[in-house]
Structure 1
Amino acid sequence: MDIVRSVFEHRGFELSYLDSAPGDGHRPVVLLLHGFPDTGDMWQLQIEALHGAGYRCLAPDTLGCGHSEIAPRVRDYNAVKIAGDHVALLDHLDITRAHVVGHDWGGMIAWFFAAYFPQRINRLVLLSMGHPTAYARAGFRQKQLGWYTFFFQVRGLAEWMLGGDGPISLRHVFASHPNMDEVMARLRQPGRLKAALNIYRAAVVPVLLSKQPSVYANTLAIWSDADRFLTEDQLTNSRRFVEADWVYKRLEGGHWMSLEQPERINELIIGHLKGEHSSGPADAFRD
């Protein structure tokens, strides 16, 4: 397997993605969506396992992240628009439907993808992140753990402090990230940290102030008990927004479970995509 990086254009921006099987129209497709402060490269170990299990993997760099172009306006990073970018990637590759896997803020985008583009999704996998309405309604503990999302709204000050070396720096706040040196080097490139923060700035209205639709895809939700950023209830309470099979798995470990325990995560994802965890049959691949 040779993972190929390619680009396509949508909304006037060049967007980058990894593809494990370019031009292969026979494999079912898995769309892997990263969160903050990551890129599509975080999914390397999942791509290897999924490709070996017969799937074609696409791992896009969200607008402004990784190798994708930086957008100039906050509103360009609207969560529904970003979900639409991923639909446009499927269109670009003539792919009708895909399984969708999302971690952290990529999980939020996965919920939006499933809610607003239900005809494009087969099965859904969420790592850590609950449905946007369940997240917004989560209790005080979630507000405590997610304090940084409010700090991210303070334009200019947030960039200055997060890019430094103090107690509110990225290195301090997200110290549990397994690849923090790479994260710091990447986000210190001109415009990259601001772009990553703009994803949160554009999400205040669609996530915190608006009730979002339910989803109709068979769903696997996974949470790890040492997660420092997301509470268990914001994920388990997401069950009420899934009008399909729902499977919940609670693991030991930290927030970046796909990097910290890839074999277990790969096993769970592949099992779900093959229909091993749910009461219904596996979704047929349609292209």
Structure 2
Amino acid sequence: MTTVPVNGFDFDVDISGPQDGEVVVLLHGFPQDRTCWRPLTERLNAAGYRTVAPDQRGYSPGARPKAVAEYRLGPLTSDVTGLLDALDIDRAHVVGHDWGGAVAWALASDAPARVRSLTVLSTPHPAAMQRAMIRSTQGLKSWYMGLFQVPHLAETLLAPSRPMWRAVMRGLPADSVARYTANVAEPGALTAMLNWYRAMPRDVVKPSLPMHRIEVPTLYIWGRRDPALGEAGALATADYVTGPYEFVILPDAGHWLPEQAVDDVSAALLDHLATYGASAAEA
């Protein structure tokens, strides 16, 4: 693990793979951390890619501002571009899951010159998500998002000893459950993680970043058994990508794709990276 200073904070980052390999940045979701990517980064490194997986804002102990506004998409995206700058990386393939997927969509929209290709697991394009919330059962699936925005109550219900925390962890490997449970037990950690949800209404009412259609080559992978993110948003995502686009449905996968579906994810991702990597662009 390496500590990288960005935007006045210290981020914990896993960096591995050949130094001359094309860079793949991997952005985790809630309530995971950078370690969720390790089964995948092993395969990426073996294929010659250099991987950069940070604990994002609120998850790195040295990057937990108290103000909810500090967790809007603008600052979260700035952390990623700042990390690229700190590591002297001009362009990278970007992979995101869950909330990390939302950041990845925003980064590809706001700074496409920094994104060689985009891969998002589970999370639909933000505009597709908003559309699905209105026109489908997605609003019912997303009931927990409102709950997570309630100060103190959410922290109480998500305490590691509570049934809701065990429900959130359902389907994850035991070692991941132990690691994430230890993370949320750190003072202030759970509140910082929940601040991503608490900042969300501000971005809906007055976006901190304009959300454009995506021009970079995009791979979107969705598990049909995802209990949190439904089919309507997944299907609508194609309407918000103008660049090359591939949509992969995993019929037997749920939400935790980095841990549960590493074989399928790595196969699709490696093909995507080879198709839109630097060597392919130069050919």
TM-score by length of 1: 0.90
Match of 2:40 among 43, 46, 64: 46
> In the TM superposition, what is the alpha-carbon distance from 1:66 to its structure 2 partner?
4.2
Distance 2:119 2:80 in 1: 16
> In the TM superposition, what is the alpha-carbon distance from 1:172 to its structure 2 partner?
2.3
Q: Is the Cα–Cα contact under 8 Å of residues 14 and 52 in structure 2 kept in the other structure?
A: yes
Instruction: Structure 2 unaligned segments of length 5 or more: list them.
Output: none
What does residue 213 of structure 2 align with? 214
What does residue 88 of structure 1 align with? 82
- Give the aligned length: 273
> In the TM superposition, what is the alpha-carbon distance from 1:213 to its structure 2 partner?
1.3
1:173-208 per-position Cα deviation (integer Å, ceiling 9, x unaligned): 442333323222220111110000001111223247
2:25 is aligned with 1:28? no
What does residue 159 of structure 1 align with? 155
User: SS of 2:39's equivalent?
Assistant: helix
Alignment of 1:191-270 (within 5 A): 191-207=188-204, 210=207, 212-251=211-250, 252-270=252-270
What does residue 172 of structure 1 align with? 167
Distance 2:117 2:107 in 1: 11
2:63 is aligned with 1:69? yes
What does residue 178 of structure 2 align with? 181
1:138-191 per-position Cα deviation (integer Å, ceiling 9, x unaligned): 134111111111111111111111115444x22124423333232222201111
Cα distance, 1:142–1:208 mapped onto 2, change above 3 Å:
farther
Percent identical pairs in the alignment equals 35
Instruction: Structure 1 unaligned segments of length 5 or more: list them.
Output: 276-281
User: SS of 1:203's equivalent?
Assistant: helix
One-letter amino acid matched to 1:33: L
Q: Is the Cα–Cα contact under 8 Å of residues 78 and 203 in structure 1 kept in the other structure?
A: yes
Q: Is the Cα–Cα contact under 8 Å of residues 110 and 211 in structure 2 kept in the other structure?
A: no
Cα distance, 1:88–1:108 mapped onto 2, change above 3 Å:
same
Cα distance, 1:270–1:57 mapped onto 2, change above 3 Å:
same
> In the TM superposition, what is the alpha-carbon distance from 1:67 to its structure 2 partner?
4.5
Q: Is the Cα–Cα contact under 8 Å of residues 7 and 82 in structure 2 kept in the other structure?
A: no
> In the TM superposition, what is the alpha-carbon distance from 1:71 to its structure 2 partner?
1.2
> In the TM superposition, what is the alpha-carbon distance from 1:137 to its structure 2 partner?
1.4
What does residue 107 of structure 1 align with? 101
TM-score by length of 2: 0.91
Please tell me the root mean square deviation across aligned C-alpha atoms, in Å.
Answer: 1.8
Cα distance, 1:177–1:68 mapped onto 2, change above 3 Å:
farther
Report which stretch shifted further, 151-160 or 176-185: 176-185
One-letter amino acid matched to 1:175: R
Report which stretch shifted further, 225-234 or 100-109: 225-234
Cα distance, 1:108–1:13 mapped onto 2, change above 3 Å:
same
Where do 4+ consecutive residues of structure 1 move more than 3 Å? Answer: 164-167, 207-211
User: SS of 2:137's equivalent?
Assistant: helix
Q: Is the Cα–Cα contact under 8 Å of residues 62 and 68 in structure 1 kept in the other structure?
A: no
Q: Is the Cα–Cα contact under 8 Å of residues 136 and 208 in structure 1 kept in the other structure?
A: no
Distance 1:13 1:103 in 2: 22
What does residue 278 of structure 1 align with? none
1:219-257 per-position Cα deviation (integer Å, ceiling 9, x unaligned): 111111111110122122111111101101111211112
Distance 1:16 1:42 in 2: 14
User: SS of 2:51's equivalent?
Assistant: strand
